[in-house]
Amino acid sequence: MDLNGSVTGTNVHLEGNSAAAASGGAVNVVQGSLTLTGGSVTDNRADNGGGIAVDIGPVSPTDVSLRGNRATSFGGALVNSGSDQGTVQMTGGSMKSNTAGLYGGAMYLSSNATVNGITISNNRVTPGVGGGIELEDDGVLTMSNSAITGNTATAATTPAGGGLYITGGTADLSGIAFNGNTLVGFEAQGAGIAQTGGSVTLDSSSSIMGNLASGAYSQGGGLYKSGNVTLDISATTISGNKVSGAGATVADVYNLGSGPYRHRHHRQHTHQLCLHQPHRPADLLHRALSGR
């Protein structure tokens, strides 16, 4: 359904819809607003944004379950790739067991999102990056009191960011548990978080624990940082992360680049040079959506 206008729903269940070769399996917010309280967005399919796609207008789900949605390319449950007029405000609820074929198993963001008190778990991207969330371009992610757990990214060569993958934009993360995420691939990079662009702040009793990067030359079971980026971590526990593979290196934090990396009051950090930086054209999704 293409939405041009305003819709408000309570305990609405959007299930089993499809938008083949298009965006927003259940709802595509072209220009308008969507407010959902309770209910679910389940088992929908699309090329981008298996459940919901946002272009222009606010989308505000509260205590909504986004589950079992699939995107062929971007954002298994949700994609927000419009202008700075496209915003997502999520409170409560969950994003579980969604899948994407390329980027962002649960959510793909190149615009703005504010997220509080949700669980993002057991999502998958294959083959690709960002098992839970991918953030890029000028996107802004403000996230608090949430869990990103048990997500997976797989690829033959360089999967990255089992929980969160950042190639651009700004992520302000407070009270987030990046726990038990997995990467599988030859040169897996950052099973909890991978950052190759933008700016990230992580604080307020956050954790990066029990993540696994599995591959012959896997790097950074907990966190991978590369390039001229800014990473600021405080009051965060980083421990119990693992890498596996004959040439695997550094279980917790793998740090490369000229950008600042500040760490205050967190457990266990390690620095070591890295040899490779994952990359893809930033305008790929915009080209994909231009034919909509």
pLDDT value of position 172: 97
pLDDT digits (tens, 9 = 90+) for 24-73: 999 999 999 999 999 999 999 999 999 999 999 899 999 999 999 999 99
247-288 pLDDT, tens digit each:
877 778 887 555 666 666 544 444 333 333 333 333 333 333
The pair of three-digit structure tokens given for residue 103, joined into one six-digit string: 């980027």
**Residues 178, 165: Cα–Cα separation, whole Å:** 12
When pLDDT is averaged across residues 84-101 and rounded to a whole number, the result is 94
Give the mean pLDDT of 183-190: 94
Count how many domains the chain has: 1
What are the residues facing 243 on neighbouring strands? 213
Reported pTM: 0.89
Q: DSSP label at 218?
A: -
Query: Residue 235, by phi and psi: left (phi above 0), alpha (psi -120 to 50) or beta?
Result: left
> Rounded to the nearest 5°, which phi and psi values hold at 113?
-145, 140
Q: Is the peptide bond before 127 cis (omega within 30 degrees of 0)?
A: yes
Bridge partners of 242, per DSSP, are 212
Q: What is the DSSP letter of 215?
A: S
Q: What whole-number distance in Å separates Cα of residue 40 and Cα of residue 61?
A: 10
pLDDT of residue 269: 45
Residue 289, pLDDT > 60, answer: no
Give how far the C-alpha of residue 150 lies from the chain's centroid of Cα atoms, to the nearest Å. Answer: 13
- In the prediction, which pLDDT does 253 show? 85
- Evaluate if residue 121 carries a pLDDT over 70: yes
Tens of pLDDT, residue by residue over 39-51, are 999 999 999 999 9
- Cα first-last separation, the chain: 13
Angle at 108 between CA 64 and CA 84, to 5 degrees: 95
Cα–Cα distance for residue pair 292/278, rounded to 1 Å: 28
Give the per-residue pLDDT at 274: 35
Percent of the chain having pLDDT more than 70? 87
Distance CA 196, CA 241 (A): 20
Report the percentage of the chain scoring pLDDT > 90: 75
Q: Which pLDDT score, from 0 to 100, does residue 256 have?
A: 59
Tokens of 152: 């997976």
- Residue 180: per-residue pLDDT: 98
SS3 175: strand
Are β-strands 86-91 and 170-179 bridged in parallel, bridged antiparallel, or unpaired? unpaired
Q: Give the range of the structural domain holding residue 143, as residue numbers without chain letter.
A: 2-289
10 Å CB burial of residue 264 (0-12, 13-18, 19+) is exposed
pLDDT for position 249 = 75
Q: Who has greater pLDDT, 75 or 56?
A: 75
Written as one string, the DSSP assignment of 98-109 is -EESSB-SSEEE
Q: Which residue has the higher pLDDT, 283 or 152?
A: 152
How far apart (Å, rounded) are the C-alpha atoms in residues 59 and 74?
18
